[in-house]
């Protein structure tokens, strides 16, 4: 079952993801048509924080139309930037009872398709 995207926690994560991606795109000088950005979450996504058994998995994709061709090596730069952002987020989460989330997965794949579409697939998991 897909996550309830109207749940305030999912709204906040979508905003956090969008802001993080936009910051990375700007830093990497990737030109996208911002109104075309779309984020979708896979049904395997789950968000159980704060709970006795804290767990997060954000799996899905972000798509956008490019307005200019990216520079060579941009995929690697963006991938590193987004993986570091995931680890940074986990490091600052304030969870009760001295618990902390540890990254179990930080898969980020960025493809520039046919020169005019960017597809960012993500599978971020912490337990």
> Looking at residue 89, what is its pLDDT?
83
Average pLDDT over residues 80-86: 90
pLDDT in tens, 2-37: 678 788 878 888 888 899 999 999 988 999 999 999
> Looking at residue 53, what is its pLDDT?
75
> Looking at residue 99, what is its pLDDT?
65
Instruction: Please provide the DSSP assignment of 50-118 as one string.
Output: SSSS-EEEEEEEEEEEBSSPPPTTHHHHHHHHHHHHHHHHHHH---GGG----EEEEEEEEEEETTTEE
Which pTM was predicted? Answer: 0.83
> Looking at residue 32, what is its pLDDT?
94
């Amino acid at each position: 079952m897909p996550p309830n995207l109207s749940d305030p926690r999912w709204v906040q994560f979508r905003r956090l993801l969008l802001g993080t991606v936009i910051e990375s795109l700007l830093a990497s000088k990737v030109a996208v048509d911002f109104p075309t950005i779309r984020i979708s979450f896979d049904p395997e996504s789950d968000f159980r924080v704060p709970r006795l058994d804290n767990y997060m998995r954000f799996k899905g994709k972000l798509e956008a139309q490019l307005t200019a061709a990216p520079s060579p090596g941009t995929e690697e730069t963006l991938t590193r930037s987004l993986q570091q952002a995931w680890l940074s987020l986990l490091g600052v989460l304030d969870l009760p009872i001295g618990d902390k989330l540890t990254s179990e997965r930080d898969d980020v794949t960025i493809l520039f398709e046919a020169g005019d579409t960017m597809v960012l697939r993500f599978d971020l998991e912490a337990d």
